[in-house]
Amino acid sequence: MTPSAQVPLSPVTDLDRAVAWGPQGQRSLRNLLADARALLRILPDSGHLLNVCQDRYRFAVGFVAGLLGERVSLQPASQSSETLQRIRSAHPDVVCLTDGAFDSQGLPCVPYPQVLEARPQDEHEVPAFPADRLVAILFTSGSTGLPQPHGKTWGRLVRNGRVEAERLGLVARPHGIVGTVPVQHSYGFESTFLMALQSGSPFWTGKPFYPQDIVAALIGLPAPRLLVTTPFHLQALLASGLALPPTDLLLSATAPLSGHLASQAEARFAAPLHEIYGSTESGQLASRRTTDGPEWTLLDGVDLQADGNGAIASGGHVEGQVPLSDLIEPLPGGRFLLHGRHADLVNIAGKRTSLAYLNHQVGAVPGVVDAAFFLPDDAGPDAHAITRLCAFVVAPGLSREAVLAGLRPRIDAVFMPRPLVLLDALPRNSTGKLPREALKDLYAQWQASQPRA
């Protein structure tokens, strides 16, 4: 694909093929194009569009309108006040496209119209756009710090969606896609929007969160069906006890998935479960069927160069050379093992482990439904003191002592949390992640609650 090449919105040429399903029925590719042109006519003249539409079809209309009008789509995974202020500073011409209540922090907004004056009869072909045009800026989730922007060009985004669709078999056999993750998030953007467009797979317009809503969305789509979700949502769905509708494929990302949970999901759905590995910076890089073992296989065209200090992703749909924050062990044949994030590594009293490993161990204690370890930034007033880990745990019906007793045989004593704080729920975001800032706030609240010496 040369930089000057024109790349179509979708390889689908049948404009009447469904691209989206919702409670009100289906929307075709012709509808999408007509609605995008109608929306573009009412958008202010601006170079940047902050697309925060929660309805996946309305997001799609806004994104395609941006393509048609040469607007760059800004897609922060979080709409915190700090993130919006940083966007305003970097892109003073930004306009927000909204479809519900949204605190824009003073940024100008355009509500998605209840009725668009669209002309579907005027649409006769699928448009194409320059491969090297910057069309989107995605932002990291802030799991390990402040959200960072990463520009994406149209040609590489298309290739991104295509290689995932090929890996999962959706090019040969399109699936109806239900996503529990926001479409602004890189995983949701790739796996419920880009992959849908590049495989001719219709997506469910909503963003179901609760188990009953996920079940209803799956029922609302024609078979075959693909559920794009996270370990957090998947665990809640399986624990709900609801009857699960026939589903042909499961996809998970955003956090490591345990083999036990993967086996449970495959048994309950009678369908294979695959994981996607990647990052906002690089896009998706590899996949695996979790129950087949720990090895990951690179997506077509992607190259990974790793050594003891880190890894660099490049090739295929990756924008340039992207350093990764994970510890990777290369294997022959485009395969590798993932050993966690550099930021997750902890060294206490000369012993090393990872926060991901500790989270897995505390989560395996019977009665624990959610948990997260946290390493404070300093050791406290005594500069020579050993830094102590903290753990925040949701375990209804268990005492702090019972949780510690269940954890003690699983980890080295030096990694036992001091303190272990019981909570009713953890402040996970819409993708099931726990940003480090949220954990720092929890730790500060716990410190403030302690009696002064």
Question: According to the CATH classification, is domain 6-341 in 3.40.50.12780?
Answer: yes
Evaluated on CA atoms 40, 33, 131, 228, the torsion sign reads positive
Q: What is the arithmetic mean of pLDDT over 318-335?
A: 90
Q: Would you place residue 385 in the very low, low, confident or very high pLDDT band (cuts 50, 70, 90)?
A: very low
| 6-341 matches 349-449 in fold | no
**Residue 378: what pLDDT?**
55
Percent with pLDDT over 90 in the chain: 66
**Residue 146: what pLDDT?**
65
> What Å distances lie between residue 122 and 31, 41, 61, 119, 139, CA to CA?
10, 15, 16, 6, 35
What is the rounded CA–CA span in Å between residue 343 and residue 201? 37
Tens of pLDDT, residues 361-375: 898 899 999 999 998
Long-range contacts of 271-278 (CB under 8 A, 24+ apart): 271/247, 274/168, 274/249, 274/250, 275/251, 276/164, 276/187, 276/190, 276/191, 276/251, 276/252, 277/253, 277/338, 278/186, 278/187, 278/190, 278/253
More confident residue, 329 or 354: 329
Q: Would you place residue 380 in the very low, low, confident or very high pLDDT band (cuts 50, 70, 90)?
A: very low
Q: Would you place residue 103 in the very low, low, confident or very high pLDDT band (cuts 50, 70, 90)?
A: confident
pLDDT at residue 210 greater than cutoff 80 = yes
Tens of pLDDT, residues 231-261: 889 989 999 999 999 999 999 998 878 888 9
More confident residue, 401 or 342: 401
Q: Would you place residue 382 in the very low, low, confident or very high pLDDT band (cuts 50, 70, 90)?
A: very low
Separation of CA 6 from chain center: 28
Closest among 238, 235, 237, 218 to 227, alpha carbons compared: 218
pLDDT at residue 381 greater than cutoff 60 = no
**Residue 453: what pLDDT?**
54
**Residue 338: what pLDDT?**
87
Question: According to the CATH classification, is domain 349-449 in 1.20.1250.20?
Answer: no
Query: Do residues 178 and 214 make contact, with C-beta atoms less than 8 angstroms apart?
Result: yes
pLDDT at residue 3 greater than cutoff 80 = no
DSSP state of 52: -
What is the rounded CA–CA span in Å between residue 211 and residue 132? 40
**Residue 137: what pLDDT?**
95
Domains of the chain, by residue range, sit at: 6-341, 349-449
| Alpha helices in 374-435, H assignment, sequence order | 400-407
**Residue 148: what pLDDT?**
83
The answer to which of 59-68, 91-100, 263-272, 340-349 has the lowest mean pLDDT is: 340-349
**Residue 155: what pLDDT?**
97
**Residue 345: what pLDDT?**
72
